[in-house]
Chain A
Amino acid sequence: MTDPKGPMIPRERADYSAIVDRPPLKLPNNARIIFWTIVNYEVWDIGKPMARQLLPAPTGVALMPDVVHWAFHEYGMRVGCWRFFELFKKLGIKPTLSANARICEDYERVAAQARDDGWEFMGHAYEQGPIHKEPDQAAMIKRSMDIIEKFIGKRPVGWLGPGLTQTLETPDLLAAAGVKYIGDWVYDDEPTVIRTTKGPLVTLPYTIELNDIPMMMVQHHESDYLLKRTIDQFDRLYAESKDRAKICALAIHPYISGQPHRIKYLEAIYDYVNKHEGVLHWNGEQILDWYQPLADKQLRAAE
């Protein structure tokens, strides 16, 4: 079934809405802010161009195979991710795992650890690469969801596109595959509801500001800037959360923040955040469980 007008553009999925015009959201038990940690575990297929590059090839031309950056990523899955597991176990935090479904096959040891530690699995495509290049996006989405469902015994409710990429029809395809929330729309401090051909779909405020890919791989900041920026972001959102609930997301990758020279700044983030009253460490599914009834109420009121 294809709409002759083509899929909706973003503005047709969501009207413009100013945050100051909305009634404030409230969290249970006078909590003020949700700190949402998202860990990204991926598979970089050696047969494709590598997703990110740290060391430009001599003469600047990327060559295939790119073993250097395959190995750069692989370090995260061999070593870096175990620094994450240790940290979150110690803190008692069960983050959201943005999971390429193929980790359940290629890195079963890692995926099983996340499952057994009670992390939330969020769909994140089959393997890493822009979704625009998928020959059959609907099939890839279904396959990814099915693999994770089989591995953890439950269908994931969330989805994040690889590199947050979407085509115009992606939200329709995701809703059709049973996805309840997406992280791709980083356009607000609050969850929102967007339109799809398969009914409403929730967006959660994921982050490309507190995200080690833009900060370390694109903007080339020093390692301690992850801590500094997170404190600045958290302070501001925490101050604003006096009047309305806020969500502070942090997105990390084991091959970046799991590096020995960076991990201490990640640890220090939680030391800082946890000194504050009213902070909930919720994952995406928990945020959805809180927000969904509020969204349903709004939708009913709008009808």
Chain B
Amino acid sequence: MNFPKPNVGMLPNDRLAYSAIATRKPLKLPKDARMVVWTITNVEEWDPTQTMPRTVLTPPAGGSPMPDIPNWCWHEYGNRVGFWRLLKVYDEFKIPGVININGCALEAYPDIVKACVDRNWEFVGHGFTQRNMQKVENERDDIRISAEVIGRVTGKRPRGWLGPGLTETWETPDILAEEGYRYVADWVLDDQPVWLKTRGKPIVNIPYTQECNDVAMMLIQHHKASEFYERAIDQFEQIYKDAKESARVMAISVHPYIMGAPHRTKYFRKIFDKIRKKPGVLFWNGSQILDWFLKAGPQAPGS
């Protein structure tokens, strides 16, 4: 079926054709590993003069009052206290960290940035502010400044990008490729990395997750905290089984203000307690997944 094309950018299927995982050439990981787990921590700064991206408490009789101090504080707790709880888990299990970070948050939370730089975490561009990419004034400037800030503060420009709330315009992958990003994680459509065409050089998409994601599970679906552990293990066991013939990637995505709450952190920790020592599982960051896929995966389209 033919859909009307946007004036700028591309429709999804013009970037990648449909492909069934069962009929693709198998992907192989080094050392007979079956799967990769990557864990993403999202650090944001919420502008107190804008509507809060999420809320835990609605005001009496509803509505969204401005300012919204209780929900601003709820998020700020994650960066003052919760992040440091999650960090202990990563340290304990030697998990390579990936931080998706708003450009403005690098300046706002220097202690967090330092802790991540000290541990050689990968910094992934995540918008300059936590705002829908369709609503930022100039998408290219936002994408460019996000990379510049990360480069300046950490000494390394980011290779990866995840849009705030995974939002994109029709043009986002084109701009990302043009601004030097090598992978994006917004396209949650496969268990393996895939190539996306752009008007310039193609870009890789790495499997991120909406399913094992604390925003979806705790804030939207309102599951109890232990469900985060249960679901992650169910997800892991199925992907591990599926990956017998061809390698797969599993993502776990958390936010310090959600899984860093005292009553939730233990369920996050329990996941790694269970899966960290399992043979055939690699714990990598996004950049490592990219480098592997560039070598082991199919050729880039148009090359």
User: Quick check: A18 and B60 within 8 Å, CB to CB?
Assistant: no
Minimum Cβ distance to chain A for residue B294 (Å)? 37
Output the nearest chain A residue to B57 by Cβ-Cβ distance: A208
Please measure, in the bound complex, the distance between the C-alpha atom of A18 and the C-alpha atom of B266, giving whole angstroms. Answer: 21
Closest 8 CB pairs of A and B: A164-B70, A51-B60, A233-B263, A187-B73, A236-B262, A232-B263, A219-B222, A132-B65
Query: With A and B bound together, what is the CA distance between A211 and B79 in angstroms?
Result: 21
- CB of B280 closer than 8 Å to a CB of A: no
Whole-angstrom distance between the Cβ of B281 and the nearest chain A Cβ = 27
- Distance of A113 from chain B, by nearest CB (Å): 24
Contacts of A185 in B (CB 8 A): 69, 73
B61 touches A51 (CB 8 A): yes
Query: In the complex, how many angstroms separate the beta carbon of A35 from the nearest chain B beta carbon?
Result: 13
Q: At the interface with chain B, which of A82-90, A104-112, A220-228, A288-296?
A: A220-228
Residue numbers in A under 8 Å from B80 (CB-CB): 16-19, 187-188
- B67 proximal to A (CB < 8 A): yes
Bound CA–CA A9/B49 (angstroms):
8
- Asked if residues B222 and A187 are in contact (CB atoms below 8 Å), the reply is no
Can you list 24 A-B pairs, Cβ within 8 angstroms, ordered by A? A9-B49, A10-B67, A10-B72, A16-B111, A18-B80, A18-B112, A19-B81, A21-B111, A49-B62, A130-B60, A130-B63, A132-B59, A161-B69, A166-B70, A168-B67, A188-B80, A208-B57, A209-B261, A211-B57, A219-B222, A221-B222, A221-B224, A229-B224, A236-B85
Chain A residues with CB under 8 A of B65: 130, 132, 165
Partner of A232, one of B69, B79, B109, B225: B225
* Contact flag A128-B60 (CB < 8 Å), given A18-B80, A187-B74, A233-B261: yes
Which A residues lie within 8 Å of B90 (CB)? none
Q: A214 — which chain B residues lie within 8 A by C-beta?
A: 56-57
Residues of A within 8 A of B59 (CB): 130, 132, 163, 165
A interface, CB within 8 angstroms of B: 9-11, 16-21, 48-52, 128-130, 132, 161-168, 170, 184-189, 208-211, 213-214, 218-221, 225, 228-230, 232-233, 235-237, 240
CB-based contact A11/B48 at 8 Å: yes
Chain B residue with the shortest CB-CB distance to A230: B263
B77, CB-defined interface residue at 8 Å: yes
Among B48, B58, B61, point to the contact of A129 (Cβ < 8 A).
B61
Q: Chain A residue with minimal CB distance to B221?
A: A219
Q: Least Cβ distance of B118 to chain A in Å?
A: 13
Q: Beyond A209-B263, A232-B263, A236-B263, is A189–B67 a contact (Cβ under 8 Å)?
A: no
**B46: nearest chain-A partner, CB-CB:** A10
Q: How large is the interface on B (under 10, 10 to 19, 20 to 34, 35 or more residues)?
A: 35 or more
Q: Nearest residue in A to B63 (C-beta to C-beta)?
A: A130
Taking beta carbons and an 8 Å cutoff, which residues of B are in contact with A?
Answer: 48-49, 56-63, 65-67, 69-70, 72-74, 76-77, 79-81, 84-85, 108-109, 111-112, 222, 224-225, 261-266
Tell which of B61, B81, B225 touches A189, judged by Cβ atoms closer than 8 Å.
B81
**Contact (Cβ within 8 A) A163 B262:** no
| Bound complex: CA A247 to CA B212 (Å) | 30
Cβ-defined contact, B57 with A213, below 8 A: yes
Q: B60 to A52, Cβ gap below 8 A?
A: yes
A166 and B69 within 8 A (CB): yes
CA of A237 to CA of B70 in the docked complex: distance in angstroms? Answer: 21
CB pair B262 A9 closer than 8 Å: no
Q: A233 to chain B: which residues have CB within 8 Å?
A: 261-263
Contacts of A162 in B (CB 8 A): 60
Question: In the complex, how many angstroms separate the beta carbon of B73 from the nearest chain A beta carbon?
Answer: 4
Closest residue on chain B to residue A219 by CB atoms: B222
Q: How far is the CA of A240 from the CA of B266 in the complex (A)?
A: 13
Q: List residues of chain A with CB within 8 A of the CB of B81.
A: 19, 188-189
Closest Cβ of chain A: how far from B65's Cβ, in Å? 4
Instruction: Tell me if A208 and B70 are in contact (CB < 8 A).
Output: yes
Assess the A16–B60 pair: CB atoms within 8 A: no
Which of A9, A163, A218, A219 is within 8 Å of B48, CB to CB?
A9
A237 to B232, CA, bound (A): 24
Q: Which residues of B contact A51 (CB under 8 A)?
A: 60-61
Residues of A within 8 A of B266 (CB): 232, 235-236
Contacts of A167 in B (CB 8 A): 67
Whether B225 pairs with A130 at a CB distance below 8 angstroms is no
How far is the CB of A141 from the nearest CB of chain B, in Å?
A: 15
Cβ–Cβ < 8 Å partners of A225 in chain B: 224
User: Nearest-CB distance from B265 to chain A (Å)?
Assistant: 6
Find chain B residues with CB under 8 A from A208 CB.
56-57, 70, 74
Contact status B265-A236, CB under 8 Å = yes
- Selected contact of A10 from candidates B48, B61, B77, CB within 8 Å: B48
**Residue with the highest number of chain B CB atoms closer than 10 Å, among A48, A128, A214:** A214
